[in-house]
Amino acid sequence: MTGRVVIVGYGMAGSRLASELRARDGDRKIVVLGAEPHRAYNRIMLSNLLAGKIDETQVELTEAAGHGVDIRPGVTVTAVDPVAATVTTDRNDTISYDHLVLATGSRAMVPPLPGLVPDPDRLPERVVAFRTLDDCRRILAAATGARTALVLGGGLLGLEAARGLASRGLDVRVVHPVGHLMNRQLDPAAGAVLARTLAGLGVISHLDAAATAVHVDADRVTLELAAGQILTADLLVLACGVRPETGLARSAGLTVERGIVVDDRLATSDPRIFAIGDCAQHEGQLTGLVAPAWAQARVLAGVLSGDRAGDRYRPQAPVTRLKAAGIDLAAMGDLGPVDGSEPAVEELSFTDPARGTYARLRIVRERLTGAIMLGDNPAVGTVIQLFDRGTPVPSDRRALLLGRAVGDRSGTPVESPALMPDAATVCQCNTVPKGALVRCWRAGARSVAEVVTATRATTGCGSCRDAVEGIVHWLSTADSAEVSG
């Protein structure tokens, strides 16, 4: 493919697409326009930055540098003209395109409460939405000298923020309007175990607690609750969900519902305009996770470059991970009400609140269709692989719940690297199978860093780091005859 591809958005989706296009043959010009004034960064790692475990350089993503790539951070696109095939920027530049990709992401939602304005960039001092790198910087600035914090929202993002602040020594309280934490991914029993675990880490949960108003004075924030309770703190973090950025698409006359509507090629209602990532709506669904965004970038790069023009995006059931100090959680699939007409449904669960452990599996016709794994359970990798691949579960179901074979007191994981098939996915975000790690090792990589550079494993949510390190250790000690997968 020749011509110019303009990518609007320099986040995790836009930067990955630029890298994918740059790696393919062809004479093309790639222009990337990012409203944020930073290099592309890993949004998933912001909670680690908030916790002080890493610095800003460690959240940066590798740029798609090289001939034919023009990256312009700090440039906002103000209009798209599909007839003229141009975009206009806030610097009064008009840029033509042969293909346009909208990777505009999403925006933090501000709840409609007295004391708050809808724009997350115009919130009162000591009130910050948690979404971007600049948000993270504002939270860290407000946390300097603070002793207490409130987090409004008990979903994944809110708990990441709460755990990060607690790691800095703040007393943190999470306010959530539903009866259990992470209600989109967890059942009430898992939510209760998670709340108890968080309490032991310095994060107290207020559940079934609807906020009604916010008051901010010189040095305190007050949150009023519907039940009449009043909570005060030095800092209030908003983690109330996100909304896809669709303004450019609407103004350009593209089909927009909750997100920008795309087909299997990621094309919008205009065949020269595409959308990927948080802003895209495929088959009525929004993604909001990095793995689907990167999968979309990979498919679209093949379509635009022409080297895999027949590729089509096929969504995979996502796996949600929360992995912070003291917490290890994986949730996947459907655990909603069961259709009574399905006779072959097995429900298994194990709870140990004192140890912060909860496991639940749903098996339908010998396939794992849903699971929650909370706490230290070495079977979590095996459970994720069974879910992703749709392979039959082992006959000893309890081995998955307990993380070891029944009667084995050694705590040996259900599956070691030597027993893992090459097709087993190790890094969910980047769809890296074990076989790719082995091939990388055979090609000359001799450290975790070299394997990561070659395969991109661990560069998404980072939760597969232990697994990648374990496989590299196994490769470094195994005889060549044993490294067969």
What pLDDT digit, counting tens, does each position of 180-191 carry?
A: 999 999 999 999
pLDDT for residue 30 is more than 60: yes
In Å, what is the CA distance from 147 to each residue of 53, 150, 157, 164, 221? Answer: 19, 11, 21, 14, 12
Residue 87's pLDDT is 98
Same domain, 173 and 216: yes
Mean pLDDT on 47-74: 86
Residue 276 lies in a domain: yes
Last residue of a domain, one of 191, 208, 240: 240
- Tell me the percentage of the chain whose pLDDT exceeds 90: 61
Residue 484's pLDDT is 43
Residue 321 lies in a domain: no
pLDDT for residue 230 is more than 90: yes
Residue 198's pLDDT is 95
Residue 96 lies in a domain: yes
Mean pLDDT on 341-364: 89
Which range of 268-282, 294-308, 356-370 scores highest in mean pLDDT? It is 268-282
Last residue of a domain, one of 390, 415, 440: 415
d(CA 326, CA 53): 14
Residue 391's pLDDT is 87
d(CA 214, CA 232): 10
Nearest to 13 by CA among 425, 268, 299, 321: 299
Same domain, 86 and 196: no
Same domain, 134 and 233: yes
Dmax (CA) for the chain in angstroms is: 71
Residue 419's pLDDT is 65
Residue 438's pLDDT is 85
Torsion angles phi and psi, residue 63, rounded to 5: -80, 150
Residue 318 lies in a domain: no
More confident: 355 or 425: 355
Cβ atoms of residues 128 and 237 within 8 Å:
yes
d(CA 128, CA 119): 11
In Å, what is the CA distance from 198 to each residue of 319, 356, 359, 448? Answer: 21, 9, 17, 31
Cβ atoms of residues 244 and 106 within 8 Å:
yes
Mean pLDDT on 205-229: 95
Domain total in the chain: 4
More confident: 376 or 270: 270
Residue 427's pLDDT is 81
Residue 410's pLDDT is 42
pLDDT for residue 229 is more than 60: yes
d(CA 350, CA 372): 10
pLDDT for residue 482 is more than 60: no
Nearest to 238 by CA among 129, 357, 391, 382: 129
Q: DSSP string covering 422-470, please? A: TTSEEETTTTEEHHHHHHHHHTT--SHHHHHHHH-TTSSS-TTHHHHHH
Three-state secondary structure of 95-113: EECCEEEECCCEEECCCCC
Torsion angles phi and psi, residue 262, rounded to 5: -130, 160
Q: Which two tokens stand for residue 227?
A: 């039940």
Same domain, 403 and 441: no
Q: Which domain holds residue 48?
A: 3-105+245-305
Same domain, 256 and 217: no
Nearest to 136 by CA among 116, 157, 153: 157
Mean pLDDT score of the chain: 89
Same domain, 198 and 249: no
Residue 62's pLDDT band, with cuts at 50, 70 and 90, is confident
Mean pLDDT on 278-294: 93
pLDDT for residue 1 is more than 70: no
Residue 181 lies in a domain: yes
Same domain, 411 and 424: no
Residue 324 lies in a domain: no
Residue 311 lies in a domain: no
pLDDT for residue 407 is more than 60: no
pLDDT for residue 483 is more than 70: no
| Rounded (5°) CA angle 447-451-452 | 115
Residue 224's pLDDT is 97
Q: What is the dihedral of CA 291, 295, 301, 304, to 10 degrees?
A: -130
d(CA 22, CA 363): 42
Q: Helix, strand, coil shares of the chain as percentages rounded to 5?
A: 30, 25, 45
Residue 253's pLDDT is 98
pLDDT for residue 177 is more than 70: yes
In Å, what is the CA distance from 434 to each residue of 174, 243, 325, 401, 427? Answer: 38, 35, 26, 23, 9
Which range of 49-63, 134-148, 314-328, 443-457 scores highest in mean pLDDT? It is 134-148
Residue 157 lies in a domain: yes
Nearest to 263 by CA among 300, 214, 307: 300
Same domain, 101 and 47: yes
Residue 287's pLDDT is 87
d(CA 126, CA 358): 36
Residue 80's pLDDT is 98
Mean pLDDT on 404-430: 62
In angstroms, the first-to-last Cα distance of the chain is 37
Same domain, 32 and 90: yes
Residue 415's pLDDT band, with cuts at 50, 70 and 90, is low
d(CA 270, CA 17): 19
